[in-house]
Structure 1
């Protein structure tokens, strides 16, 4: 079938007047049709994510209804579910998110599946919590997280409250491909609309986190035009903390993200307004637009995800008990967490990138009390384990506030705690090389070159081990990842991004602190700069 024929067939079934009009205007543009119909968004462990628009290579109502129908087919075929199939659906405030959520509810309901729909745009961790709280078979979150305004996405959670992993993603993808015309799918309209009780239940779960007893802390906060603001403010009040001062220009949800070029707290400039508001405050905290990530600044500087990860780890371990405790992180995060685990005598797991894998770390006898990934994702728990089986930017913000208040009561700051860790474990400094491409083949070509000719040294450090995870490694599932261990304790991990057209390299150097921490930091900064340049050359992009 030609692209034009596919476009005509799409027009016949598309229920959205906006995308029908867009596509009708492109029917005589072969290049535009090839872009939209020559490929399709692939459903994977990250679900779907892409630019809004008409055609299978875009996020739109047809794509979403097909995804919902595929999920319904898989749920109906399973005989290992704890209860009759049911799904809870959440959504953020991006363009079309509410429409996509309602379309999903209608398709799932038409397939005979019980559906719970969130009452309004809410953070992703509320949806992840709701899956287990309601005893659902699966969950859907309509969000593109911190992607540009033109994007939207579709995450799927399973009955354990965690995002799906292989081979379930492949099973759902196959079922989606088998879906026919969406205008012929049965639809239901009897889904259950949830009320504010689901938010209050989530807040009660956060009150059980290891927050400590101190509450004297001043905070500037931004939700970056996302859906985290109202829930975070309620969470702080619920748990007895002073409600943070919010960046007024970014306080309300806005799908156009007018004050930032890229709504990701890691991007240059995204935190400028929050940092300005927080000049005379103990902390600056930001959530990304769906509030599953948490960024932190203290003492006038942004902390890296690995720095916050190490601080939260020790805080959680000081406030929990039990030899069955587990802490987990990913292969691209700092190696510091493994040393902290050894110091506290708890179990440690290292997983593939993504919280879907962190939640599967360890064994059945382990009690996960803490997991994190360097990309500002933290899953904090207490003696009962973790309430949200995914990264939770609101729970993390609360715990950081408790940690900072505890330090403040002793006349100290988070920067003082970082210095303590550097002296105890060595200064673990991390950085990234991230290359965005327009042609995805450039990424596969770069990975192929590295596999064919692995580097013998990087920035003057010998490569002591070169691990290719393509066929699995040391108990980890197969993944398109290359890892190089360097003389002197450094490490480089290279992988394609799972959600964006980027090739990423994660760098780490470890510097013993024998004099001042400033001297060690200067050494680490120099080593990272050299390593960044060397890795960039090796990538060839």
Structure 2
């Protein structure tokens, strides 16, 4: 089946489900956005697929808010809420290889769909075996009075809402710092420029070779800023030539952000997602405290992270008195939980996932690289007035709240039965239904198995996080303060591990902590994964 045909059947299935869920579907409408993939030569370009998506709905007399040009992924969930649409779709494959394409579905709350909607939509898609009359008529996009372009309204409103998380506009206008931005051949350039303007900054310096859309991603082997210095080469060279100390990089659909900073030794530090989260968490709470009224209740404040991400926000929350919550991996869980908290009168300052996905504030209920880029610039500009770099402030944060040193990597495994056998052995380690009590020389304090819903740290042994039977994920909390998770990827033949040494405040021997973490990872791999026995192929991250 051609991708365009699959897209057609997908939207027919989505239409059937939305019609069932919303009696006012044909009054409220549907949002469609797209990125810059395959714009010139591909028959499956994001723009073409967006038109096909719109055509299916327009043929059924549904109002469609179809953006007239490419937009960042965060604009779609933002538009769904602003326009009170029942749902929305963003055509994108984010930072995946150039041959890929796909789409993300958002519910009326502005968050990505979760159960039961995802499974019910799939059922409806499987029931669609014939294209409807008119559903291939792309001309409807140009002729139907039900097609609307929300670009100007949404862009203006988004930039205005950005100001809610801008706390030093006058300082921003006067800062001596220069910033370089790369959009990795994607959608980010125009929107990051506008965001810097909204915060009062001079425009960031764009990387000319990567500024304009290029579906071939011609200057990078992989359009993923999470890969670090190897893909930031052009950005770092430009920054050195322009005497700019900070580089911000948005991925092709501008929902994720990487940051690099020039250090005194002349080397560049590319921050991990967990390190950036420590900085964002400190900054958003610092600004909340500085700008809140005296009667503001810190116990009404929340921050969130996915369970495989750093526990640094938990450490900050324990010391400062606000709430911290974990969700299952994936920003769809964060977005839904943030909406629940907001509906119950709570205030959410910051949320993140370790794979450089950040949400500052709550105007968008998904990760947002555009807002994160300009918040980074404001934070760096403020710290400059205190004679501090981002890297120096990060050390201060760790010294105050405890060092959190993490490492993530994965093994490839192309044999699903082997993956199942590895995890079943952990559930029946020394005896049936018995988890390991130690990993080499490291004693285990608690075990949480999200796949089965087990958590030994709870009185009833039931996980607070919802069970997720379709994927494998077990988390080990060790007596020495380390937390390690083994999980499978939902889209790739991988077993991933996430390990973090969480030290209490005052324990500042970073070298010792790093050595302990490395030893524990080695024990974890040798005792629990047994790569040579199971034919696993290690990949460094």
**TM-score category (smaller protein):** 0.7 to 0.9
Q: Which residue of structure 2 lines up, in the alignment, with residue 16 of structure 1?
A: none
Q: Which residue of structure 2 lines up, in the alignment, with residue 273 of structure 1?
A: 234
Find the partner of 1:450 among 410, 414, 426.
426
CA spacing shift, 1:197–1:355, aligned 2, 3 Å: same
Find the partner of 1:226 among 180, 186, 190.
186
Return the alpha-carbon distance in structure 1 between the equivalents of residues 14 and 166 of structure 2. 36
Query: Does the CA contact (< 8 Å) of 2:8 and 2:135 recur in 1?
Result: no
Q: Which residue of structure 1 lines up, in the alignment, with residue 484 of structure 2?
A: 492
Aligned ranges for residues 241-256 of structure 1 at < 5 Å?
241-256=201-216
Query: Does the CA contact (< 8 Å) of 1:108 and 1:187 recur in 2?
Result: no
Query: Does the CA contact (< 8 Å) of 1:211 and 1:403 recur in 2?
Result: no
Q: Which residue of structure 1 lines up, in the alignment, with residue 42 of structure 2?
A: none
Query: Does the CA contact (< 8 Å) of 1:119 and 1:196 recur in 2?
Result: no
Return the alpha-carbon distance in structure 2 between the equivalents of residues 212 and 345 of structure 1. 25
Find the partner of 1:471 among 436, 452, 458.
452
Query: Does the CA contact (< 8 Å) of 1:294 and 1:397 recur in 2?
Result: yes
How far does the alpha carbon of each residue in 1:73-109 deviate from its partner, in whole angstroms, 9 at most, with x for none?
0110014779835110001111211111111100112
Task: Say yes or no: does 1:71 pair with 2:14.
Answer: yes
Query: Does the CA contact (< 8 Å) of 2:95 and 2:252 recur in 1?
Result: yes
Task: Say yes or no: does 1:292 pair with 2:249.
Answer: no
Task: Say yes or no: does 1:333 pair with 2:309.
Answer: yes
1:184 Cα deviation from its structure 2 partner: 4.5
Aligned ranges for residues 149-298 of structure 1 at < 5 Å?
149-182=98-131, 184=133, 186=135, 189=140, 190=144, 191-213=147-169, 214-215=171-172, 216=175, 217-267=177-227, 269-279=230-240, 280-298=243-261
Q: Which residue of structure 1 lines up, in the alignment, with residue 474 of structure 2?
A: 482
Q: Which residue of structure 1 lines up, in the alignment, with residue 404 of structure 2?
A: 428
1:397 Cα deviation from its structure 2 partner: 0.8
How far does the alpha carbon of each residue in 1:437-486 deviate from its partner, in whole angstroms, 9 at most, with x for none?
44555544433333333444346321211111123343311123211001
Partner SS state of residue 501, structure 2: strand
Find the partner of 1:373 among 324, 341, 353.
353
1:344 Cα deviation from its structure 2 partner: 2.5
* More displaced stretch, 206-215 vs 490-499: 206-215
Return the alpha-carbon distance in structure 2 between the equivalents of residues 501 and 264 of structure 1. 19
CA spacing shift, 1:371–1:514, aligned 2, 3 Å: closer
Return the alpha-carbon distance in structure 2 between the equivalents of residues 447 and 84 of structure 1. 48
Return the alpha-carbon distance in structure 2 between the equivalents of residues 66 and 82 of structure 1. 19
CA spacing shift, 1:186–1:294, aligned 2, 3 Å: closer
How far does the alpha carbon of each residue in 1:158-209 deviate from its partner, in whole angstroms, 9 at most, with x for none?
1111101111100101000000212656467122233433222211111221
Query: Does the CA contact (< 8 Å) of 2:482 and 2:517 recur in 1?
Result: no
How many residues are paired up? 477
TM-score scaled to structure 2, two decimals? 0.83
CA spacing shift, 1:305–1:195, aligned 2, 3 Å: closer
Query: Does the CA contact (< 8 Å) of 2:311 and 2:502 recur in 1?
Result: no
Query: Does the CA contact (< 8 Å) of 1:212 and 1:403 recur in 2?
Result: no
Aligned ranges for residues 299-310 of structure 1 at < 5 Å?
299=263, 300-310=268-278
Q: Which residue of structure 2 lines up, in the alignment, with residue 26 of structure 1?
A: none
CA spacing shift, 1:476–1:510, aligned 2, 3 Å: closer
Return the alpha-carbon distance in structure 2 between the equivalents of residues 451 and 471 of structure 1. 10
CA spacing shift, 1:266–1:459, aligned 2, 3 Å: farther
CA spacing shift, 1:513–1:198, aligned 2, 3 Å: closer
Task: Say yes or no: does 1:504 pair with 2:467.
Answer: no
CA spacing shift, 1:79–1:259, aligned 2, 3 Å: closer
CA root-mean-square deviation: 2.1
Task: List alignment gaps of at least 5 residues for structure 2.
Answer: 39-44, 430-434, 454-461, 537-541
Partner SS state of residue 430, structure 1: strand
* More displaced stretch, 320-329 vs 80-89: 80-89
Task: Say yes or no: does 1:94 pair with 2:94.
Answer: no
CA spacing shift, 1:387–1:372, aligned 2, 3 Å: same
Return the alpha-carbon distance in structure 2 between the equivalents of residues 431 and 350 of structure 1. 19
Q: Which residue of structure 2 lines up, in the alignment, with residue 462 of structure 1?
A: 443
How far does the alpha carbon of each residue in 1:38-78 deviate from its partner, in whole angstroms, 9 at most, with x for none?
xxxxxxxxxxxxxxxx3xxxxx1011111111110011001
1:375 Cα deviation from its structure 2 partner: 0.9
How far does the alpha carbon of each residue in 1:268-307 deviate from its partner, in whole angstroms, 9 at most, with x for none?
5112222233344231111111110011112321111111
Q: Which residue of structure 2 lines up, in the alignment, with residue 32 of structure 1?
A: none
1:255 Cα deviation from its structure 2 partner: 1.3
CA spacing shift, 1:123–1:79, aligned 2, 3 Å: closer
CA spacing shift, 1:446–1:211, aligned 2, 3 Å: farther
Task: List alignment gaps of at least 5 residues for structure 1.
Answer: 1-9, 11-53, 55-59
How far does the alpha carbon of each residue in 1:384-406 deviate from its partner, in whole angstroms, 9 at most, with x for none?
xx111110001011111111111
TM-score scaled to structure 1, two decimals? 0.83
Q: Which residue of structure 1 lines up, in the alignment, with residue 4 of structure 2?
A: 61
CA spacing shift, 1:290–1:529, aligned 2, 3 Å: same
Query: Does the CA contact (< 8 Å) of 2:319 and 2:401 recur in 1?
Result: no
